[in-house]
């Protein structure tokens, strides 16, 4: 192979994977049904486990989210499974994990997934002062952004945040809303913080999903049982007519003063 050919192949490998099943190399893959632009002005906080409002999903539409990574031993397996089914998700990263594993952070983004933020060290923010909590949030965002773009900033390129343990406070929620950062809770979860077999976890999450019918699903890409369970879960979604919706951030628009981070509405 020529040097030029090798360079072209390496560039192709970095391109985001196709979103829709029709564009997926595997025609029998689950795929990503559609992309939804989440505007923090319109939906400042979503997820019925914590808030009265959630995303306007149709029946049998799901949003896949993963918390606490990146963690090399399991996040890479989760990414491989998502890629095999041409599915895109949102990863809420812990800052110190992102700092320790910048190559995986870049891989998450390169494969078309969205990157949200999950504090620096996963401290329960309702148990510390607002000043300390804000520092946890900002330090986490800065570490994620440095791993992703090479420069630390507390202004997230993707303005999505999830509280550790969903432990928010009114003051912190108000602060994040004023900064144009959407807070994502969840509509259902796999309880994968509890030890169980992959088969038990699959049964639990599919029962909950069939009961609820749609929603934002919370997993943890740091859990070995989740990484092992995920291929069967994606197959279950495909066999039972579920569709995956991928969340993205609005594109910034330029004004005469500065760049506004949230112009778009939900698709």
**H helix runs in 123-262, sequence order:** 130-149, 170-178, 198-212, 224-239
Compute and round to an integer the Cα radius of gyration of the chain: 18
What is the rounded CA–CA span in Å between residue 263 and residue 217?
Answer: 26
The partner residues of 23 in beta bridges, in order of sequence, read: none
d(CA 140, CA 171) in angstroms, rounded, equals: 19
Is the pLDDT at 248 greater than 70, yes or no? yes
Question: What pLDDT score does 252 carry?
Answer: 72
CB 190 within 8 A of CB 210: no
For the segment 9-38, the average pLDDT, to the nearest whole number, is 66
Span of 50-54, 213-217, 221-225, 252-256 with lowest mean pLDDT: 252-256
Domain boundaries, the chain: 36-249
Q: What is the average pLDDT across 170-198?
A: 97
**pLDDT tens digits, 206-216:** 999 999 999 99
* Burial tier of 35 (Cβ tally within 10 Å: 0-12, 13-18, 19+): middle
CA-CA distance, 243 to 81, in Å (whole number)? Answer: 16
Q: Which residues are catalytic?
A: 67, 220
User: Looking only at Cα atoms, what is the longest distance across the chain?
Assistant: 59
Specify whether domain 36-249 bears CATH 3.40.47.10: no
pLDDT at 259 (0 to 100)? 37
- Integer CA distances (angstroms), 3 to 13, 14, 121, 194, in order: 16, 17, 43, 49
- pLDDT at residue 177 greater than cutoff 90: yes
The mean pLDDT of 25-43, rounded to a whole number, is 94
């Amino acid at each position: 192979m020529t040097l030029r050919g090798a360079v072209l192949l390496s560039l192709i490998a970095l391109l985001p994977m196709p979103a829709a099943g029709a564009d997926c190399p595997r025609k029998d893959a689950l795929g990503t049904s559609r992309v939804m632009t989440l505007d923090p002005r319109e939906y400042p906080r979503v997820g019925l486990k914590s808030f009265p409002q959630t995303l306007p999903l149709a029946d049998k539409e799901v949003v896949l989210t993963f918390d606490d990574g990146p963690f090399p031993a399991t996040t890479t397996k989760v990414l491989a499974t998502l890629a095999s089914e041409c599915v895109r998700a949102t990863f809420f990263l812990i800052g110190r994990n992102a700092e320790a594993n910048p190559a995986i952070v870049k891989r998450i983004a390169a494969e078309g997934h969205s990157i949200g933020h999950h504090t620096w060290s996963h401290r329960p923010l309702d148990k510390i002062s607002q000043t300390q909590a804000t520092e946890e949030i900002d330090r986490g965002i800065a570490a994620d952004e440095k791993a992703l773009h090479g420069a630390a900033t507390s202004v997230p390129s993707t303005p999505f945040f999830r509280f550790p343990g969903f432990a928010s406070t009114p003051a912190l929620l108000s602060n994040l809303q004023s900064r144009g950062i959407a807070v994502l809770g969840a509509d259902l979860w796999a309880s994968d913080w509890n030890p169980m077999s992959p088969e038990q976890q699959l049964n639990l999450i599919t029962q909950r999903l069939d009961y609820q019918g749609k929603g934002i699903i919370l997993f943890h890409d740091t859990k070995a049982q989740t990484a092992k369970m995920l291929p069967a879960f994606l197959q279950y979604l495909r066999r039972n007519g579920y569709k995956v919706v991928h969340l993205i951030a609005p594109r910034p628009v330029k004004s005469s003063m500065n760049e506004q981070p949230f112009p778009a509405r939900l698709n």
